[in-house]
Amino acid sequence: MLRRICAFMLLAAMLLTCAAQARALPSVSDCVFVTGEGGEIRYSLPQMMEISLKITDGDFEIAEIMGSRKMIAGNHALTLDAGFFGDAPLSGEYTLVLTADGEAYTARFMMGKKPAPAPAAFEALIPTPAYESAHRPEHKNCYWCTPMDITDEEAVWNMLVAPVKVIDEGQKEQVILREAPDAKSAGIGVITGASQAVHVLEYLDNGWAQVEVYSSSFHDSRVKAWNKFVTGYIKQSQMKTYTPRTDYGMVIDKLTQKLYIFKEGKLFTTLAVSTGLYNERQPYNETRSGEFLIISRTGDFKSDNLICAKALRFNGGDLLHEVPHVLNADKTKNYKNCEPKLGTRASHGCIRVQRLKNAEGINMAWIWNNIKVGTKLVIWEDYQGRQIAYPAGDTPLYYNAKGGSNYHSTANCNGVKDQYLPLAAFTYAELDSGKYADLTKCSYCHPPLRVSEIEEINRIHQQQSPGMVPQHLRQED
């Protein structure tokens, strides 16, 4: 009896093995070939088979990768070096065809150029927020002494949770920063109470302290110094130490026009914003840079005909809020005037944040529900010499292959109807080639800028800082 059972089990195992082999089929993976770097073709065979590999464009054969030959079962990788296609100006998406024992199996073969690097003759500047200072104290975990480099997560997080010195006044009150340690000396800037932190350089024996700060002058401030970096004096008795929350922290970078949210030591997510856009008549529209605390929850408010929702106060009249809307005649919300400007300077000083959910499902509504009073918010200035980094060529992007006009940062963008999800993938290296060249940036998930757009921003910043108030406008007599 036992022999019969063993024989039956052996037969069953053999049948299952045969069935598994019968179900197994050859496969070939999508391949990205970057000009100047090459690419790798990966395919899998369930058993020894006669195969060939070629690249086609419809019915037209572009190149033969491998002629007919016998290959053993298993996973295979074939490297194409950078010169495989010679000088042929190929770019775009083609079809990779694996023929195995007479049957064809296909995948995408994507060709494109590697994104251009920053100009070699120009060295990108990674300054600290105290770039204009004559002092170099190198304080540990200090906003003013930490380079403005969002990729250094540890340094940024340590700065975001470090204690700060704020002014012991009401959140709408301002104190004057003096030119000398004397209450009768000239005012050179103003500091907002409760939320704006200062950089203490020295405590003097006479009860004064020398500090640095970006002046928080508004249109009605007693001293008119529009976002000017100033070094002056304030009484030590006017300052107090505050320790921020340690669950979240936020960075606004005027250069990239993005909000970076950190959670428990790591970069959590990124959102598009609009900071202030000054003009000759209204230099006070420039958002004031510096180190701040979320000090109160203001909620919705009106600015002329604009409704700004879910506002969090961080610097007197400067608030973090949802991108504004107006009300249509039927009381529905209309965002079409302000939403397309996200990612560029556009506000009167407040920071507008995207309302549409990003790839991680985060937006201003999420911030309103999760970011508490006492969270640190810092704002980086876009000093001349700073440069936006170029995304890696293999950064995944997505598009609607059934007629979509946008490119996206996620395969399941919230701005695309469900029947078109998930979106088809391609790479950043291909963005300026073939059918991808005419795609426009999605306003929901805010994918990376094109190489040409980054190049233009970086070119301008080699010569100037377009977001900074010009020297002749920064101080009003």
Domain boundaries, the chain: 24-113, 396-447
- CA distance linking residue 421 with residue 399, whole number of Å: 10
- CA distance linking residue 363 with residue 347, whole number of Å: 18
- CA distance linking residue 324 with residue 4, whole number of Å: 79
State the chain's maximal CA–CA distance in angstroms. Answer: 109
Contact 111, 102 (CB under 8 A): no
What type of residue sits at position 160?
Answer: L
- Alpha-helical segments (H) within 24-70: none
pLDDT in tens, the chain (477 residues): 444 434 444 444 444 444 444 457 898 887 888 777 788 898 888 999 999 999 998 778 888 998 999 988 888 888 888 878 776 656 777 888 999 999 999 888 877 665 555 444 566 789 999 999 999 998 999 999 999 999 999 999 999 999 999 999 999 999 999 999 999 999 999 999 999 999 999 999 999 999 999 999 999 999 999 999 999 999 999 999 999 999 999 999 999 999 999 999 999 999 999 999 998 899 999 999 999 999 999 999 998 889 999 999 999 999 999 999 999 999 999 999 999 999 999 999 999 999 998 888 899 999 999 999 999 999 999 998 999 999 999 999 999 999 999 999 999 998 899 999 999 999 999 999 989 999 999 988 899 999 999 999 999 988 888 778 887 777 776
Among 453, 439, 440, which Cα is nearest to 388's?
Answer: 453
- CA distance linking residue 211 with residue 225, whole number of Å: 16
- Over the range 35-57, which residues count as b (16 or more CB within 10 Å of their CB) and which as e? beeebebebbbbeebebbbbbbe
- CA distance linking residue 228 with residue 209, whole number of Å: 19
Q: 372 is written with which tokens?
A: 């508490």
Strand pairing class (290-293; 296-303):
unpaired
DSSP track, 133-156: -S-----TT-GGGS-S-TT-HHHH
Q: What's the CATH class of domain 24-113? A: mainly beta
Among 154, 234, 152, 130, which Cα is nearest to 189's?
Answer: 234
Residue with tokens 């994104």: 115
- Over the range 280-295, which residues count as b (16 or more CB within 10 Å of their CB) and which as e? eeebbbbbbbbbbbbb
Neighbours of 147 (CB within 10 A): 14
